[in-house]
Each structure stands twice: as structure tokens, then as C-alpha cells.
Amino acid sequence: MDLSYKEEALSAFLEKFGDTEGVRCYFAPGRVNLIGEHTDYNGGHVFPCALTIGTYAAVRKRKDRRIRFYSVNLSKSGVIERSLDAFQPLQDDSWTAYPMGVMWAFEKRGFQIPVGLDIVVNGNIPNGSGLSSSASLEVLTGYVLKEEFGFPVSLVEIAKIGQDAENNYCGMNCGIMDQFASAMGKKDNAIFLDCATLDYEYAPVVLDGMKLVVTNTNKKHKLVGSAYNDRRRECEEAREILADACGIKTLGDLSNEEFEKYKDAIKDPVVRKRAKHAVYENNRAIRAVAELKAGHIEEFGRLMNASHVSLRDDFEVSCEELDILAEEAWKVPGVLGSRMTGGGFGGCTVSIVKDEAIPDFKQKVGDAYKKRVGYDCTFYVVSIGDGPEEV
């Protein structure tokens, strides 16, 4: 956690809203998914971890029903005013749709928000990087409401509320993973989550002499209205066909062998490829966690590489920039695994890199990327952190 972002938020609060008396500050993390991509909405398993980068908020209750928002990161937007009496599902195209959606979802569940808030947010998750700045903001808002108004909601419920807000207020048909990882983060642990049941366990990520390196393509991805919702529809089509063929409830119910047995029921070759990724990726995630627990970090890395190939070839959510980053990383000695992470079409890769290889990794991958793409990528050596908290 970098408390300079909290101080910047407080400074902006003073400037925009006159004083900081009675202000409380909160933090919620971003996340990176180590393996198990596009499995969450297919009833499969994911393996994300919360990061020590995230979103900060300075908050104070008002006496009326107004909400005043200001983002240090999006300062050109100025102070944006909203009302607790005028929610606009699927209409707000500003960043305030995320926190307003959470407030709407709280009220929908019977948690009446008694008064408005002045809120200044400030974050160090690169916007459009695929490290879940939106989920971080949703979980942050849910945690703020819980703490400010004493609502009896668990962190798991905050994750569900965040997903509801993103699905039904913002119009992004995402799974539960991003919000769950932010809400339930635990230092030095990733979360092995069964998205069909929300059963989860923490698995220590002991990277002895290694680090997680996130590499940003600096190609922003915008998931709403992109091919993301198309992939969900294709997977649902496959699920319905396979449910008739072999009685499954979700694609996550299938072993690789079962999929191969029944896949010809899916006549559309594109839909078949989408289903293959969902099934194989789910089983890769299950195996990867078992390998990690057994201390087989090299095998975990190989499964990360296989995940990227599947996302590139079968699910087709990678892009030239992500492929270059992954393929160049695979060439560097000391890199155990590298793959795209997040929804795709831009954003970041995540790599496991030996400490002594990090300078070489940055130079070789960075040089090759700039030569082939024409602009720089950005590297973040990240740590695994806790969930939301008051700071």
C-alpha cells in the first residue's frame, strides 16, 4: 500500500469540499489472475490474488441525499454530482456508474442509504490495464457503505453486490472473480475459487527467489460493448448443447476427456473452440493449484504458458501486443511462465520471473516490444496483498 495516494485524496478533498473534518479513508485492492481465465462465468475455477496497488477513497457523510464525486485520476471530469433518488441503470457513461451501481444494488437488497456522501477517489491501478480498477472501485464503495452506515454485509456479499452492479447497472456481463479477489484478498496467498459454488480456499504463493511481474501493453482494453459479451453468449450456447448431450449444468463440470467425447454435438466450430477453452482452462487451473501446493513451481509456469496459447487460439481474446509480450517472455532464461491476464483485447501479461533475471527480462521484452509495436510497455513488480480496509 502506498499512503501517498491517501494523502493526495485528502488534499483534493480539502481543495474541492472545503475542509477534511470528519473524513475517513479507505482502500480496496486491484487483482491479477494467475490462471483460470474466462472460466468464472462458466462455472469453473479461478486463481486470482489481490495486489498492493488499488483504489483509495476519502469519504464524508452529508446531511442531504446528494453524492458528490471527484477522481484525482480523472481530474478533467471535475466534481460530478448524483442523487440517491435518481439512479440511472445502464445510462451513466461516466466512471461514477461503478460506485452508483453499488449504491443501487445495496438499496435493491433493502439497505436504505440514509444520507449522501462526498467522495474523492485516487488509485494506482493503471486505467484500462485489466487489473480490475472497476472491481476495486466497486468493492471500495461497498466497504465504505458497510463501514459508514453499519450495514451487516460480509465481504463475500460485497463481492456479489459489486458483480450485480457491474452486470445490471454498468451493462458489463462479468463473472464474480474480480470482485471476489478484491474483497477477499489475503497477503501472500492466492484464492482458489470455485465460481459455481463460491467455495474457496487460500493457497500460499511462495515465490522463493522469484517475483510476479505484470507487464502492461499500454493498449487500453474496454470490455463493455466489446467481444467479451459475445464470448459469454458463445459459451452459453455450448453449455445448452452439452447439457442436452450429457446432462451437465456448467462447462466447468466437464473433464477434458468428457469434452472430447461429446464435443461433436456442437456443430459450430467457433462455439466448439470457445467451449474447449473453458473446459481445458478450468482443468488447467485445478491442476496448477495442485502443482503449486506440491512445490512444483516450474510446472505451474508451464501451465500458465499453455493457458495463454488457449486464450490466443481457442478463445481468441488475446491480441498482437499481448502475444508479443508472452512470446518474448518465454525466450528469456529465468522466466518460469507468462500469460495474458484479465479479459483480454489489451491490458497486461503476468509472469513468474527469477529475481536475478528481472533486469534481463525487462530489457529484452521491453526492447522487442518497442521494436515491434512502436511504443513502450510498462513493468510492475507486484506483491500479493490483503482485501479492503480503512486506512
Which residue in 283, 271, 279 sits closest to 250, CA to CA?
Answer: 279
Distance CA 194, CA 46 (A): 7
Which residue blocks in 250-331 are alpha helix, DSSP H? 256-262, 269-293, 297-313, 320-330
Which residue in 238, 326, 95 sits closest to 317, CA to CA?
Answer: 326
Which residue in 180, 141, 185, 131 sits closest to 157, CA to CA?
Answer: 180
Q: Give the per-residue pLDDT at 174.
A: 83
pLDDT tens, residue by residue, 221-245: 555 456 888 999 999 999 999 999 9
C-alpha grid cell, residue 133 = 480498477
Instruction: Choose the catalytic residue: 92, 178, 253, 314.
Output: 178
Which residues are registered as beta bridge partners of 186? Answer: 189
Domain borders along the chain are: 4-204
Count how many residues are written for the chain. 391
Identity of the residue numbered 82: R
Distance CA 320, CA 112 (A): 47
Which residues are registered as beta bridge partners of 18? Answer: none
pLDDT reading at 253 higher than 70: yes
Share of the chain above pLDDT 90, in %: 88
Distance CA 22, CA 20 (A): 6
* Residue 363 CB neighbours (<10 A): 11
**Is 274 exposed, middle or buried (CB count within 10 Å of its CB: 0-12, 13-18, 19+)?**
buried
Distance CA 107, CA 237 (A): 33
pLDDT reading at 30 higher than 60: yes
- Give residue 299's pLDDT band: very low, low, confident or very high (50, 70, 90): very high
Indicate the Cα dihedral angle 149, 113, 134, 157, nearest 10°.
70
Tell me whether residue 85 is one of the annotated catalytic residues: no
pLDDT tens, residue by residue, 268-282: 999 999 999 999 999
109: phi then psi, degrees, rounded to nearest 5: -90, 5
Residues 6+ apart with CB under 8 A from 306: 284
Q: Give the per-residue pLDDT at 343.
A: 84
Residues 6+ apart with CB under 8 A from 335: 301, 329, 351, 352, 353, 354, 357, 361
Q: Is-contact 31 181, C-beta < 8 A?
A: yes
The predicted model scores a pTM of 0.90
Share of the chain above pLDDT 70, in %: 98
Q: Give the per-residue pLDDT at 225.
A: 53
Q: Is-contact 50 386, C-beta < 8 A?
A: yes
Q: Tell me the average pLDDT across 22-30.
A: 97
pLDDT tens, residue by residue, 340-376: 998 888 889 999 999 999 999 999 999 999 999 999 9
Q: Give the per-residue pLDDT at 342.
A: 87
Q: Give the per-residue pLDDT at 224.
A: 43
C-alpha grid cell, residue 381 = 513488480
Q: Give the per-residue pLDDT at 228.
A: 81
In CATH, 4-204 is 3.30.230.10: yes
Distance CA 387, CA 49 (A): 10
CA 26-31-33 angle, 5° bins: 165
Q: Give the per-residue pLDDT at 39.
A: 95
Residues 6+ apart with CB under 8 A from 34: 47, 48, 49, 190, 205, 288, 304, 341, 350
Query: Which single residue is written with the C-alpha cell 508479443?
Result: 324
Distance CA 51, CA 86 (A): 34
DSSP states of 234-262? HHHHHHHHHHHHH--SSGGG--HHHHHHH
- Give residue 157's pLDDT band: very low, low, confident or very high (50, 70, 90): very high
Q: Give the per-residue pLDDT at 355.
A: 96
Which residue in 18, 17, 20, 38 sits closest to 7, CA to CA?
Answer: 20
